[in-house]
Structure 1
Amino acid sequence: MLFKGVHLKGIRAGKITLAFRKWQKASVKKGSLLNTSVGLLGIDNIETVNENDITDKDAQQAGFTDKKQLLKSFPHNHEGEIFKISLHYHSEDPRIKLREQAELSDQQLEEVRTKLKRLDQYSKNGPWTNQVLLSINDHPHLPAAGIANLTGFEKEWLKINIRKLKNMGLTISHMIGYELSPLGNEYLNKLTGSKNKK
């Protein structure tokens, strides 16, 4: 579930408490948390509504001027039901604190290795985590298409799986490309036994 930056800022400030989406089926659940660029968002409720039931006040609570502007935000010729989602700002993104960790104990190192090994084992493309981490380290800010050329993995598959590395605190996503976090650098330091470039 994606949000425009202006809406994320409104949610964080408590000014926006609703979101509307047109989906074939709901992609979020009541009680779940969403990772966004401003932190975690909590989903309080989700329900289907008819277009006629949406009011200007609803639209304003979703960050739009009025109902007309809200309806224009839905993709053209996109079939599905309209979902009304109540939400709130929950907390800072816990991955930020995690990724800034610059030291790993032997136990923490083993935990990271175990998680990465599991990602490799369940991948349809076989082992990939170390190869991708090394590629990001050697080519910071290289977009997914460039990493795909280096590694031979498909671009869209890479985007999804690099997100898994981000969720572990090992990488940082930028407008263009990726880089290793301090935690990711420390993991490679331990892995290679040498100081890794930042």
Structure 2
Amino acid sequence: MLLRRPVLDAIAAGRVTRAYRRWDRARVKPGTRLRTVVGVLEVTAVRTVAAASLTDADAAAAGVADAAALRRELAKRPTGEVFRIDLRPAGEDPRIALRADDDLDDDARAALDARLARMDTTSSYGPWTAATLALIAENPEVRAPDLAQRMGRETQPFKRDVRKLKELGLTESLPVGYRLSPRGRAYLRN
């Protein structure tokens, strides 16, 4: 579920507590945790509502000017049910602490070795993790399309792979490009 940055900031500040989406089926459920640039958000409730029943108060809770504007936004997707999704801040993104943890003992290193080996083994295009980590280490703040081209890859699959490394705390996204996290640098030091 994508939320624009101003909405995320408003949720983090407590000014926005819900979102509305028109979907063919619920895409989230209560308890779903969403990692965002402002931290983790938790979905606390999901229910269908009639678009015609939306009020200005409903719109305000979603950070929208009024009910008419909310209905216009929902009408951009003409089919599906309207879902009301209640959200709350649920803490910091755990990847932040993970990527800062550069104290890799033998067990942590072995676990990373195993995860990266599994990623390489299951890849349809062969091993990629070591080359990608090395490329990012040598080229911080370089645009993803440029890095992907250097590896002879398409941009979107390359970015998906870098996100996998980010999940392990090895890389960080920057306004432009990536860099190795302290954990990633410690891992490459051997």
TM-score (norm 1): 0.89
**Residue in structure 2 matched with residue 40 of structure 1 by the alignment:** 40
Q: Take 1:75 and 1:158, find their aligned partners in 2: how far apart are those partners?
A: 34
In the alignment, structure 2 segments of 5+ residues that lack a partner are: none
**Residue in structure 1 matched with residue 177 of structure 2 by the alignment:** 177
**Residue in structure 1 matched with residue 24 of structure 2 by the alignment:** 24
* Residue 129 to residue 74, structure 1, CA distance change in 2 (3 Å): farther
Q: Take 1:68 and 1:116, find their aligned partners in 2: how far apart are those partners?
A: 50
- Structure 1 residue 78, shift from structure 2 partner: 5.5
1:122-174: CA deviations, max 9, x gaps?
Answer: 22222111111111111111222112111122211112221111111111112
DSSP-derived class of the 2:90 partner: strand
| Equivalent AA in structure 2 for residue 179 of structure 1 | R
Q: CA RMSD in A?
A: 1.7
* Residue 136 to residue 53, structure 1, CA distance change in 2 (3 Å): same
**Residue in structure 1 matched with residue 138 of structure 2 by the alignment:** 138
* Residue 109 to residue 13, structure 1, CA distance change in 2 (3 Å): same
Q: Which moved more, 1:18-27 or 1:87-96?
A: 18-27
Q: Which moved more, 1:144-153 or 1:87-96?
A: 144-153
**Residue in structure 1 matched with residue 157 of structure 2 by the alignment:** 157
Q: Take 2:151 and 2:183, find their aligned partners in 1: how far apart are those partners?
A: 22
* Residue 155 to residue 78, structure 1, CA distance change in 2 (3 Å): farther
Percent identity of equivalent pairs: 39
**Residue in structure 2 matched with residue 196 of structure 1 by the alignment:** none
